[in-house]
Amino acid sequence: MSANPETVTAQPLTFRRYKDGDTKPHAWQEEIFDADHTHKCPTYIQSTPPCQGSCPSGEDIRGYLNIVRGIEKPPAGVPWQEYAWRRLTEANPLPSVMGRVCPAPCESGCNRNQVEDFVGINSVEHFLGEWAIEHQLGFHKPAVSTGKQVAVVGGGPAGLSVAYQLALKGHAVTIFDERAELGGMMRYGIPGFRTPRAVLDAEIQRILDLGVQTKMNCRIGTDLTLDEIDAAFDAVFLGLGAQSGRPLPVDGSDAPNVVTATAFLKAFNDGRMQHVGRRVVVVGGGDTSIDVATVARRLGHIDQVHESDRPENVIGGFAAHDAALLSRRQGAEVTLTSIFAIDKMQASKHEVEHAQGEGIAIRGGLAPVAVIRDASGRATALRVARCEARIVGGKLDVKMVPGTEEDIEADLIVSAIGQAVDFTGLEALNNGKGGIAADKNYQVQGKDGKPVGMFVGGDVVRPHLLTTAIGHGAIAADGIDRHLRSEALEKRPKIDVHGFDLTRKMIEKGLKVTHIDEPTWGTDSSTGAIHNYDNRSDRYVIPHDELFLGHFNYTPRNRRKIVSLTAEEALSNFEERMLPLLETQAQAEAKRCMSCGQCFECDNCVVYCPQTAVFKVPKGKSTTGRYVDTDYTKCIGCHICKDVCPTGYIQMGLGE
């Protein structure tokens, strides 16, 4: 095996403000110029960076990267690692887990992609999560209890997130879960070599240490009714999850050795399944299907198979026969099929590459047609056909190619085409589409469209990412808190994220804070902000074309080491594959962040201002976000400060 960083080929930078052949200047009249001046002068606009706008849990990514890189200073006596971790966990209490398994949509949105490559946000999150566990950091308990009690149904990422946020607000929380342990799909869906159980346990325990109570092996809807829970608590959150798999929609899929991905992974994570058949076919294309395929490759098959050893019997609840452990283990032939082409699959690209490296055959553009069975009714092959799949108007359109059918032999077929919610005992909540209807505050809607006093989040709203469920929990917690205080639930912001708080930085430094009424235009005489500061983070994501990309040099990404296995090495290897960055690497990677929409103290505006109108705020009055200011008696509105601002923090707003 090897543990080398992912290889990357350096590409020359392509940023240019003007292209070959450009002979005419921009239309100055559009910027209200009159000779060498204009009546538009600089304003300081805080915007949401696209990484944060793409993060389903709304982490203050720019904020904690600026702490790691040393731009934002922690309060005296607080290590920068802890300060960054606390900023991160305001949104996400499970950074070490998410740093490993989140497919990182934040990185896809990163403006640095316009320069050379995205910032390794996920890897810095991973580093901070590991540092916090190593140094046994805990969350600060609230000083006052509200006396209100909240029931959380489901201990997966949504339930843990809402429990964490509510406990911080001083409410008493009890989690009800039908499993023996908390974690939901993080424990019973994702294999341990992707989410080490010691890491998961540590981050869950940190939430429980806030005083969160649990009632395990208790299913709401059967062991207790929802009415009983509703009567005993002041508020209820439903994080039911979608832990029932969807069967293949083809003839013969009721064969005993055709199982769902959720059942397969649960049997493995419970420790019941010790091997699979010689030939395994997985139907899917997302990260779950990759998990199934890599688990099957590691388990392999055995020579002597007793009836109770068959995978479908183990998955169904039978214990594996002792003889299975004594038999010689061999590698399974694993094939993963997807209706999409390989480069269009939803699974993370690096997970696909590692699966292929481990000897898993991934075949794109194939749709299941039928399950072929023998005389006993067991599946012997999956019949597939070539297809063309695309998303049209938000709906899946699959066109089969006639005459392209073929059979892929299989001893076990696993359906990883989606998940469903088990509404047993809770049928009244089903909106008819397999989910629960809720408003933007994730408050449950009744049959008449009116709220019923319950809240919801996670896959029961719509199956998506683990980090999406965490974001649902945080938003629902805000709604529950307002509900418990008998306050009206306000409309959520257009961009629902945890943003940088300038007031908090001023308080940390001991600066006097005055109240600023929205909108904040014309704050040049206020001590509450820098000149003409406006926080638009709740409504504006800053694009790359508002940055000065020419400021940034080509800087390769600091990549985590990934343990790559061959087909033979993968067999029986359940060790973690992803190694965290070193401290120096994490700091270097954070320095690649362009701090889009927030000043990162580069001094360009001060250096290039021809009128010396832009100046540094005196150290005694400065904080992050209060680094530079403008003397409007000197400013002629030449736009140079805006043009050379790498982050887009300076906008020409006065005079409009």
The pLDDT assigned to 178 comes to: 94
The pLDDT assigned to 434 comes to: 87
pLDDT for 378-414, tens place per residue? 999 999 999 999 888 778 899 999 999 999 999 889 9
User: Is the pLDDT reported for residue 325 higher than 60?
Assistant: no
DSSP 513-545: ----PSS----TT-SSSSTTEEE-TTT-BPPGG
DSSP 327-347: SPEE--EEEEEESS-GGG-SS
The pLDDT assigned to 328 comes to: 38
The pLDDT assigned to 506 comes to: 86
User: Is the pLDDT reported for residue 255 higher than 90?
Assistant: yes
pLDDT for 72-82, tens place per residue? 999 999 999 99
Contact 332, 301 (CB under 8 A): yes
Residue carrying structure tokens 């339930």: 159
Which residues make beta-bridge pairs with 399?
Answer: 388
* pTM of the full structure: 0.85
> Rounded to an integer, what distance in angstroms lies between the CA atom of residue 270 and that of residue 642?
58
pLDDT for 83-112, tens place per residue? 999 999 999 999 999 999 998 999 999 999
- Looking at CATH, the fold of the domain delimited by 245-418 is given as FAD/NAD(P)-binding domain (3.50.50)
User: Is the pLDDT reported for residue 327 higher than 50?
Assistant: no
Average pLDDT over residues 465-470: 92
Q: In terms of pLDDT, which residue wins out, 634 or 306? A: 634
% of the chain exceeding 90 in pLDDT = 56
pLDDT for 193-234, tens place per residue? 889 999 999 999 999 999 999 999 999 999 999 999 999 999
**Looking at 241-245, 441-445, 493-497, which range is the least confident one?**
241-245
Query: What single letter denotes the amino acid at residue 328?
Result: R
Cis peptide leading into residue 519 (ω within 30°): yes
Helix, strand, coil % in the chain, rounded to nearest 5: 30, 20, 50
Tell the burial category of 56 from Cβ atoms under 10 Å away from its Cβ (0-12, 13-18, 19+).
buried
Tell the burial category of 12 from Cβ atoms under 10 Å away from its Cβ (0-12, 13-18, 19+).
exposed
Q: Enumerate the domain spans of the chain.
A: 245-418
**Looking at 132-141, 478-487, 547-556, 625-634, which range is the least confident one?**
625-634
Contact 440, 489 (CB under 8 A): no
The pLDDT assigned to 88 comes to: 98
User: Is the pLDDT reported for residue 423 higher than 60?
Assistant: yes
% of the chain exceeding 70 in pLDDT = 85
Contact 238, 472 (CB under 8 A): no
Residues 6+ apart with CB under 8 A from 38: 31, 32, 636, 637, 638, 639, 652, 655
